[in-house]
Amino acid sequence: MYRNALEFIKKWGQKQNRKPLILRGARQVGKSYLVREFARKESLSLLEINFEKNRELAELFDKRSIQKTLEFLEIQYKTRIEPKTTLLFLDEIQAAPEIIPMLRYFYEERPELKIIAAGSLLEFILKDHSFSMPVGRIEYMYLGPMTFEEFLEARGETGLKKLIEEFHLKDSMPLPFHQRLIDQIRTYCMTGGMPEAISAFLENSWEGCESIKKNLLSTYEDDFSKYRHRVSDLRLRKVFQKIPRLIGEKLKYVNIDPLERAKDLAQALDLLCMARVAYPVYHSSANGVPLGAEMNEKFFKLLFLDVGLVSSACGLNLLDLEREEDLSRVNQGRLMEQLIGQHLLYDHPPYQTPELYYWAREKKNASAEVDYVAQLGSKVIPIEIKSGKSGSLRSLHLFLKEKGLSLGVRFNSEPPSILKEKNMILISLPFYLVGQWRRLCEES
């Protein structure tokens, strides 16, 4: 299945001053597949080492001599390492953290050799490492679930994918295509963006897709035993299972478990965020960019890894989505907030750390909240997820007026439209155009 991130890796591979690349992301988002696909498409000889399966192979890496390391690898794998045609893939590198600082020596002594490393729980090593990080000698790339456009391409709906990629606000979306795309979004909300789940669905098996998602959720929970020295796996499971039901709400630890100390629950949640199965959406005053400059870490909402996993965790099925004409109302709006949120998290360049913010004002009889605020160049854009034509946009209008801004975005189930009033422009986009929002805002 095609991933947009493949283009980023291709450009990396063509650089003259190329540094070792480290892929960061949760388990099963497709990191290993992406590397193998890159090697296949570029006709590279792939030498893949999985340190989780073969921890002892770390002993072949001699920090005193990169040349000796390459010779040892050639002997072990009975192959010739040619710098221009070989791709060295160090998978699950978190299982051999002593290899990470060696990447700088590969860069300094063998810069022509293509090296990619990946790790599912790499964030723990990078946070608690006792070694010297090869700062300035490595590059990062962040990978999330497959996007809606990638889902369309995997499903063979290349015509619909091209349609939304070439859609302009001055055009109208033909109603038959609008309805087809809404139907596709319903399906995507159930399959989600995890490659293995989509692959099972493409084999015409809803049961297989659901089984894969349930197994993925169980796999993440099984990983919790690895954190036992940090926090109890029982508490981790409790927090993990609650997150899909808390999406869109300002987090209050009492809503997870009123009998647990907030400090203990916060520690568990921090671990889940480091594992990238959960993401904090922090409050920002949003007076300008960067949004993180006015972030308040005390107030945040949560996102889960993937909308399909949220559907499974909440016990939803396709019939639940088909019964509700307005997708904004499914599961009290949480599902669409997850859908939009996970796309916004990863709509930056792949080398940029995923981050997302929201805005709220809490005053007696005058509270307001905007679901998300995003950066578009030097501008701050408020983004709301609201029901069709009747959805109230009081908070969005208040935000625009208070910040002296002129452009806002609403996502719903209706065909795309533009509403102009006084000095404000509201772009109303159907959920299936979430991947195009930046381009369409720049057009306006």
Both structure tokens of 192? 């989600």
What is the residue-averaged pLDDT of the chain? 92
Q: Which residues of 190-222 are buried (b: 16+ CB within 10 A; e: fewer)?
A: bbbbbbbbbbbbbeeeeebbbebbeebbeebee
Tell me what percent of the residues of the chain surpass a pLDDT of 70. Answer: 96
pLDDT of 179: 96
In CATH, the number for domain 5-142 is 3.40.50.300
Run of H or E including 379: strand 379-385
Place 121 in a pLDDT band, splitting at 50, 70 and 90: confident
Q: What is the mean pLDDT of residues 174-183?
A: 97
What's the pLDDT tens digit per position in 269-282? 999 999 999 999 99
| pLDDT tens-digit map of 354-395 | 999 999 987 777 789 999 999 999 999 999 998 655 457 889
Top pLDDT among 124 and 82 is at 82
Per-residue pLDDT at 390: 44
Q: What are phi and psi of 139, to 5 degrees?
A: -125, 155
Extract the tokens encoding 54.
């073969």
User: How much of the chain, in percent, has pLDDT values that exceed 90?
Assistant: 79
Please give the average per-residue pLDDT across 153-164, as a whole number: 98
For residue 63, what pLDDT band results from cuts at 50, 70 and 90? confident
pLDDT of residue 233: 86
Residue 133 has pLDDT above 80, yes or no: no
Q: Where are the alpha helices (DSSP H) in 61-156?
A: 66-77, 103-109, 122-128, 148-154
Q: What does the pLDDT read at residue 127?
A: 66
Place of tokens 């995507």: 188
Predicted local distance difference test score (pLDDT) of residue 5: 96
Distance CA 333, CA 329 (A): 5
Using only C-alpha atoms, the chain has a radius of gyration, in whole angstroms, of 23
- Which residues are registered as beta bridge partners of 430? 412
Those residues with Cβ within 8 angstroms of residue 99's Cβ, 6 or more apart along the chain or in another chain: 51, 58, 61, 90, 93, 117
Q: What pLDDT is attached to residue 120?
A: 80
Rounded Cα distance between 81 and 92, Å, is 21
| Distance from C-alpha of 430 to C-alpha of 86, rounded to nearest angstrom | 44
Domain range summary for the chain, segments of one domain joined by +: 5-142, 148-443
Q: Say yes or no to pLDDT of 40 above 70.
A: yes
Q: Which of these, 264, 278, 340, 281, lies nearest to 313 by C-alpha position?
A: 278
The answer, yes or no, to whether residue 227 has pLDDT greater than 90, is no
pLDDT category of residue 136 using cuts at 50, 70 and 90: confident
pTM as predicted: 0.93
